[in-house]
Amino acid sequence: MVPLLLVLLLALILFGAGFALKALWWIAVIVLIVWLLGFVMRSADGAGRKGRWYRW
The distance from CA 51 to its chain's CA centroid, rounded to whole angstroms, is 26
pLDDT digits (tens, 9 = 90+) for 4-17: 888 888 888 888 88
Contact 27, 35 (CB under 8 A): no
Q: What is the pLDDT of residues 23-56, one digit of tens each?
A: 888 999 999 998 888 877 776 655 555 555 555 5
Domain boundaries defined on the chain: 1-44
- pTM, whole model, 2 decimals? 0.57
